[in-house]
Amino acid sequence: MTVREDTVSTDPWGRVDDDGTVYVRTAEGERAVGSWQAGDPAEALAYYRRKFEELATQVELLEQRVRGTDLPPAQAEASILKLREAVATANAVGDLDSLQRRLTGLSELVAKRREELKAARELQRAAAREVKERIVAEAERIAEHTTHWKSGGERLRQLVEEWKAAERVDRATEAALWKRLSAARTAFAKRRKAYFAGLDQQREAIRQEKERIVAEAEALADSTDWSGTAAAYRELMRRWKAAGRASREVEEELWARFKAAQDRFFQARAAVYAERDAELRENAAAKEQLLAEAEKLLPVTDARAARQHFRSILERWEAIGPVPRDVRDRLEGGLRRVDDALRKAEEAEWKRTNPEARARAQATVEQLRRSIEQLEQRLAKAQAAGNAKAAQEAEEALAARRSWLVEAERTLAEFSGGSV
């Protein structure tokens, strides 16, 4: 467009024509932006410059929002487009091209930010996909392997909450992963239901077995066969433990009955044993006195009188009855030692007073004495003849016979009351 020479007022970015038309200058040329019929043309330019300044202010504010806030790219682009149209058709005088360049710069910044956000979203989606794949994998492991039903169910609920808190991924992946998660939860619920159904059957079998055990225990509660019944209760307890556990209510009720029957038997046995223990302790005290009486028979001086006294002690000993196990061996052992001493004294007395044995001992002594006398004669002859070998043989035989004679005379002395 050619600039007319009849312009009444001019500006670097516009002018007012002599007919009052106001123009703005842009890179594309002049464009009429209004008409000013009243007043000074300078006022017209001032008015339209204020219109430009308002646009410039809007551009500046948009720049601040784009650069200084997290304005979404789509909203920013819409605002830029709206301002572009406003600048392109603005009835204002000023450097409209600079505003368009600034808006172009903003568009480029928004486009860059859009790409950055897209890349960030892709990273977020990848991270979210990894999180949700981990959630699904753990849920599938729980569904297939765990038998800790309470903790497993709680963990599955936590995994669902983690899923909800995680970022969403693309729709297809989200749907596929959610389908696997739901299938894992369903499989876990079915497996848990089947387990508890089997557990109910198992607990019913346990209940029946323990009912039988309790019935047997109650039938034995009043038995007085202390040893046999105690063994029977031990066997019932072994069966109880081996049977497993029924439901809590049944277990507690049956155990209370079983324990009551068992306690009744063992309390009755304890009362009998306590009475018996008191009697046994009294018996032990009496036998202690008899043992002391028996030990006074030692050393034995009169075997026959001691044996007669000992028989009296034995009769009283047997009449007393049993004693506690912890002192029984000591008391019985002490009495045996007295009995052994008496028996040895009786054997010695018998040997001493046995005429046949004494005669044999006397004959042995006399024979040895004759043999020694003969050997002494042989020794003397050998020595006189100078026969060293014969003399040595006679000396050796003589030494042996003399040793035997000492033993024979000792035995004979026992029969003779100490003298030969």
Looking at residue 368, what is its pLDDT? 80
Looking at residue 252, what is its pLDDT? 92
Looking at residue 420, what is its pLDDT? 53
Strand (E) or helix (H) holding 10? strand 9-11
Q: Is residue 272 a contact partner of residue 226, using CB atoms and an 8 Å limit? A: yes
Alpha helices in 146-170 (DSSP H): 149-165
Looking at residue 201, what is its pLDDT? 84
9-30 pLDDT, tens digit per residue, is: 567 899 988 888 999 999 889 9
Q: Is residue 121 a contact partner of residue 78, using CB atoms and an 8 Å limit? A: no
Query: What's the average pLDDT block by block, 10 residues per block, for the chain (420 residues)?
Result: 45 88 91 85 90 94 87 88 92 93 92 86 84 91 89 92 87 91 92 84 88 93 92 93 88 93 92 86 91 91 89 88 88 89 84 73 83 87 83 81 80 64
Q: Is residue 300 a contact partner of residue 342, using CB atoms and an 8 Å limit? A: yes
Cα-trace Rg, the chain? 65
Q: Is residue 127 a contact partner of residue 97, using CB atoms and an 8 Å limit? A: no
Pull the structure tokens for residue 319: 């009449």
Provide the terminal-to-terminal Cα distance of the chain, rounded to the nearest Å. 181
Looking at residue 335, what is its pLDDT? 85
Residue indicated by tokens 């043999």: 371
Helix%, strand%, coil% for the chain, nearest 5: 80, 5, 15
Q: In what order do the strands lie in the sheet with 9-11?
A: 9-11, 14-16, 21-26, 29-35
Looking at residue 4, what is its pLDDT? 40
Looking at residue 2, what is its pLDDT? 39
C-alpha to C-alpha distances, 152 to 164, 178, 190, 333, nearest whole angstrom = 19, 19, 13, 69
Looking at residue 57, what is its pLDDT? 95
Q: Is residue 184 a contact partner of residue 139, using CB atoms and an 8 Å limit? A: yes
Q: Residues 6 or more apart from 277 whose CB is under 8 A from it? A: 324
Per DSSP, the residues of 186-205 read: HHHHHHHHHHHHHHHHHHHH
Q: Distance between CA 98 and CA 108 in Å, rounded? A: 15
HSE, side-chain direction, 13 A CA sphere, residue 240: 21
Residue indicated by tokens 């486009």: 111
- Residue 334 Cα to chain centre, angstroms: 54
In the chain, the percentage of residues whose pLDDT exceeds 90 is: 39
Q: Distance between CA 408 and CA 369 in Å, rounded? A: 10
266-300 pLDDT, tens digit per residue, is: 999 998 888 888 888 999 999 899 989 999 988 98
Looking at residue 5, what is its pLDDT? 41
Q: Is residue 35 a contact partner of residue 115, using CB atoms and an 8 Å limit? A: no
Q: Is residue 375 a contact partner of residue 328, using CB atoms and an 8 Å limit? A: no
**The pTM is what?**
0.38
Strand 9-11 with 14-16, pairing: antiparallel
HSE, side-chain direction, 13 A CA sphere, residue 349: 14
Q: Distance between CA 373 and CA 405 in Å, rounded? A: 12
Looking at residue 397, what is its pLDDT? 78
Strand (E) or helix (H) holding 348? helix 325-353
